[in-house]
Amino acid sequence: MQYVTSTGEPRVCVFCDAFSADETASLVVHRGRDCYVILNLFPYNSGHLMVVPRRHIATLSATTHDERCEMMDLTRLAEQALTEAYRPQGINVGMNLGRSAGAGIVDHIHVHLVPRWSGDTNFMTVVGEVRVLPEDIGETARRLREAFERLAQEQKPDVRSQKTAG
Ligand SMILES: [Zn+2]
């Protein structure tokens, strides 16, 4: 996670700025109400996604109930979109809270989803920026945006029927 240099003092948070900066806006694949889903510009694997709350918060403790619910809902949707678009054999899902835990952006929490295939490079042993990616990130964004859009549309009736039933 190298969006922000660890030595500098970034005045702008890339996650807060994701919708306004050209480069990061092109990586956003789905927008929820309180959270959104964005591709990692420096992925560990093709389709490496992050689920991010819109608010600039550094811990799960600082999240609202709605934010937590939507983070998990979007993580679930991301699992489905990745499965549909890439048919991975596994997916690493997790969070790095704090610098010592490996967070590249420590002030704004995010959930990683890294699709995995047997024989790919191990998530934990990848170092530096040398990674072999079979697909251009713009193409990845296009494919995942389509998958998210379709899945989100399909699931809307479920939400409505639950609400009317209750
Ligand atoms: Zn932020």
Query: Ligand 1: distance of its center to the CA of 18 in Å?
Result: 9
Q: Which CA distances in Å does 59 have to 17, 18, 33, 97? A: 19, 19, 19, 7
Percent of the chain clearing pLDDT 90 (strictly above): 61
For the annotated catalytic residues, the residue numbers are 110
How many residues can be counted in the chain?
166
Q: Specify the pTM.
A: 0.81
Q: What is d(CA 155, CA 79) in angstroms, rounded to the nearest whole number?
A: 14
Q: What mean pLDDT do residues 136-162 have?
A: 84
Q: How far apart are CA 161 and CA 158, in angstroms?
A: 5
d(CA 99, CA 72): 23
Residue 128: pLDDT band by 50, 70, 90 thresholds? very low
Average pLDDT over residues 16-25: 87
Give whichever of 65-69, 133-137, 154-158 has the largest mean pLDDT. 65-69
Residue 58 CA to ligand 1 centre (angstroms):
8
Q: Cα of 114 to ligand 1 centre, how many Å?
A: 21
For residue range 78-110, list pLDDT tens digits in order. Answer: 999 999 999 999 999 999 999 999 888 999 999
Of 30, 26, 49, nearest in space to 39 by CA: 49
Pairing label, strands 90-94, 35-39: unpaired
